[in-house]
Amino acid sequence: MSQILDGRSAVAAETRGASPLHAARHQLREAVDTLGLGDAEYEMLSTPRRELTVSIPLRCDDGTTRTYLGYRVQHNLSRGPAKGGVRFSPAVNLDEVRALAMWMTWKSALLDLPYGGAKGGVAIDPRGHTLGELERVTRRYTSEIAGFIGPDRDIPAPDIGTDERTMAWMMDTFSVGAGHTVLGVVTGKPLELGGSRGRASATSRGLGHVVLAALRDLRLGGGATTAAIQGFGKVGRGLAAFLAEAGVRVIAVSDEDGAVCNDGGIDVTALGEHVDRTGGVAGFALADALPGGELLEMEVTVLVPAAVEGVLTAENAPRVRARLIVEGANGPTTPEADAVFEARGITVVPDILANAGGVLVSYFEWVQGNQSYWWTEDDVERRLRDRMLASWERLLATARSSRRSLRRTATALAVERVADAHRLRGLYP
């Protein structure tokens, strides 16, 4: 069963408080005020264009049946097809997906990609299921949203709890329905199925380039640059390797079940091997265990939250001792924490710029697929680096000249592009 909800009821159903949606709408309000737009524009840009909620019955390997909820939210389509990842996590809910979809719109616009924003998810813990069960869930979810997505409509990609194998199942399911292979319906696919070289590491590498540029441009680098990274998944792990190779001492890393630290620098390769063997960072012999949330409060040059939303809050922000925060995750900083960091002079490089390397190389994958012409790894890396650094430099220069925070400036630059597209298309209410 699937149900299409209209956007107005979506806004009415919004929950307030320290939710990702509260944060996303707060940031939009600031951008609207910065740009001198009005309430009508705010209402339009805060309202998702389309939302789909689906139920996904799963026959488990033991013969029992469970039903999961899945979502796909298209926040904005004014600059092109919607674009954004699919998350498998027990924490997924409609409000979270709405917020993540809105951030995708701003991210695509900030990087000047010809996309709108979308996000999807299934409220399931992938760790509690076999591969066969996850394949069945993915295929059923894809069938339910198939009328909603497509290379010219909405193009999913990996996010938390999903990967290139998930994308291969999605592409196959969609293609079976279409009667022919449709490579462009998702990005983040395996190389053998039209994936792009460099997509798997793109978010981490883009983030790494931004971290190094921010350290340099804000004059925070120097001899003993240290980093703490929350999350050791697709984004955090690749970033740890990138920074270690660049000479940054990665002294603390965490995942959902543990955290480890070593003041002399963590051997990231050895930690990766330990995680492949045991499933988590806990118990890594070449580092000490670190209690709970302490990683976020360590004295480091740069802190990179690369896991989930809302981890930097009004409660812990006064204790954060990093000089620079670069957001690998989407929405890790609440608006209240942002205000604390601004008052304390701690620079925050916002998610919609910092982690945009993933959607950027997804765009490269889509372009290569459309042309059936595949770039080399060097082509991808050069274009990724150039575009991330150009976007960073533009953001920094605009923030400095306007004396506004990087987040407020980034959101305003992106919202302006989206509002312009609406105005030129004549879509204002």
Ligand X SMILES: NC(=O)C1=CN([C@@H]2O[C@H](COP(=O)(O)OP(=O)(O)OC[C@H]3O[C@@H](n4cnc5c(N)ncnc54)[C@H](OP(=O)(O)O)[C@@H]3O)[C@@H](O)[C@H]2O)C=CC1
Stretch that binds ligand X, among 58-66, 216-224, 248-256, 403-411 (CB under 6 A): 248-256
Q: Which of 48, 116, 156, 161 binds ligand X (CB under 6 A)?
A: 161
Number of C-alpha atoms within 13 angstroms, CB side, residue 216?
10
Tell the residue number behind the tokens 């990842």, with chain if given: 85
Q: Is 84 in the site for ligand X (CB under 6 A)?
A: no
- Closest-CA residue to 83 (of 184, 149, 155): 155
Tell the residue number behind the tokens 């919607």, with chain if given: 82
Q: Is 171 in the site for ligand AKG (CB under 6 A)?
A: no
Q: 420 with 409: CB under 8 angstroms?
A: no
Stretch that binds ligand AKG, among 29-37, 221-229, 352-360, 412-420 (CB under 6 A): 352-360
Smaller CB distance to ligand X: residue 37 or 259?
259
Q: How far is the CB of 32 from ligand AKG (least distance, A)?
A: 22
Q: How far is the CB of 329 from ligand X (least distance, A)?
A: 3
Q: Where would I find the H helices in 52-130?
A: 94-110
Q: Is 85 in the site for ligand AKG (CB under 6 A)?
A: yes
Smaller CB distance to ligand AKG: residue 360 or 396?
360
Interface residues for ligand X in 213-232 (CB under 6 A)? Answer: 230-232
- With CB under 5 to 8 Å by kind, the binding choice for 83 among ligand AKG, ligand X, none is ligand AKG
Q: Which of 21, 101, 134, 157 binds ligand AKG (CB under 6 A)?
A: 157
Site size for ligand X, by CB under 6 A?
25
Q: Is 83 in the site for ligand AKG (CB under 6 A)?
A: yes
151 three-class SS: coil
- Which residues are tagged catalytic? 119
Residues 6+ apart with CB under 8 A from 256: 280, 307
- Closest-CA residue to 404 (of 391, 393, 395): 395
User: Per the annotation, where are the binding residues for substrate?
Assistant: 83, 107, 362
- Closest-CA residue to 26 (of 367, 311, 333): 333
Stretch that binds ligand AKG, among 29-37, 239-247, 254-262, 358-366 (CB under 6 A): 358-366
User: CA-CA distances (angstroms) from residue 8 to 14, 15, 51, 334, 406?
Assistant: 10, 14, 11, 25, 31
The backbone torsions φ and ψ at residue 310, rounded to the nearest 5 degrees and listed phi first, read 65, 30
Q: Which of 44, 99, 118, 306 binds ligand X (CB under 6 A)?
A: 306
Tokens found for residue 402:
């306007």
Residues found near ligand X in the complex (CB under 6 A): 158-161, 203, 230-236, 254-257, 280, 306-308, 328-330, 355, 358
